C-alpha cells in the first residue's frame, strides 16, 4: 500500500525538542519532494518545510533556525527535528508528498499531534 505515516508527536514543555518521523511505503522519499505541513487547533494549514530529491531543504519563516528536515534513504523516512518549541507550535503535523510537476500535495499521512505546554 502506498502511504505516509507520521510518528513522534506528544506533549512537550516550552523550550523542549522533539523529532517527528514520516515513514513511507510504496513511495521512495529520495526521489520525491516531501513536506511537513501543520494545522494548529481550529486553524488553517501552514506549510513548514520541504526536502527535495536533490537534498535541498527550505523552511517557512516560523521554522527557520529552530526546525531541521532530513531523510534516511535506507529507512525510506523523512524527519523533522524541532528545537526551542513554543506554545504556538502546537498543531497536528502532517507529512505530504509534493507533486513535482504541479506543486500540489497529492499524498498525505494521517498526522501526528504535538502539544507544547507546561
Partner 1 sequence: IVLTQSPDTLSLSPGERATLSCRVSETINGQYLAWYQQKPGQAPKLLIYGTFNRAAGIPDRFSGSGSGTDFTLTFSRLEPEDFAVYHCQQYEDSPSFGQGTRLEIK
Interface characters, 2-31, with partner 1 (x: CB under 8 A): ------------------------------
For the chain, report the end-to-end CA distance as a whole number of angstroms. Answer: 39
| Among 50, 58, 56, 43, residue whose Cα is nearest residue 89 | 43
- Count the Cβ atoms, other than its own, within 10 Å of residue 40: 14
- 20-21-27 Cα angle (round to 5): 145
- Per CB under 8 A, the segment of 16-24, 62-70, 78-86, 103-111 that binds partner 1 is 103-111
Using rule CB under 8 A, residue 88 touches partner 1? no
Q: Exactly one of 9, 40, 47, 76 binds partner 1 (CB under 8 A); which one?
A: 47
d(CA 29, CA 33): 7
Using rule CB under 8 A, residue 81 touches partner 1? no
Number of residues that bind partner 1 (CB under 8 A): 21
Using rule CB under 8 A, residue 43 touches partner 1? yes
d(CA 5, CA 17): 20
| Chain residues in the site for partner 1 (CB under 8 A) | 35, 37, 43-47, 58, 60, 94, 96, 99, 102-106, 108-111
Amino acid at each position: 500500500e502506498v502511504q505516509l505515516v507520521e510518528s513522534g508527536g506528544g506533549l512537550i514543555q516550552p523550550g523542549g525538542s522533539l523529532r517527528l518521523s514520516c515513514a513511507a511505503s510504496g513511495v521512495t522519499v529520495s526521489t520525491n519532494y516531501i513536506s511537513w505541513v501543520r494545522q494548529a487547533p481550529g486553524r488553517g494549514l501552514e506549510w513548514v518545510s520541504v526536502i527535495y530529491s536533490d537534498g535541498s531543504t527550505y523552511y517557512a519563516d516560523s521554522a527557520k533556525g529552530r526546525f531541521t528536515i532530513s531523510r534516511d534513504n535506507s529507512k525510506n523516512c523523512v524527519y523533522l527535528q524541532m528545537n526551542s518549541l513554543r506554545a504556538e507550535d502546537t498543531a497536528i503535523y502532517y507529512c505530504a508528498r509534493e507533486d513535482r510537476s504541479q506543486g500540489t500535495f497529492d499524498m498525505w499521512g494521517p498526522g501526528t499531534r504535538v502539544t507544547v505546554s507546561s
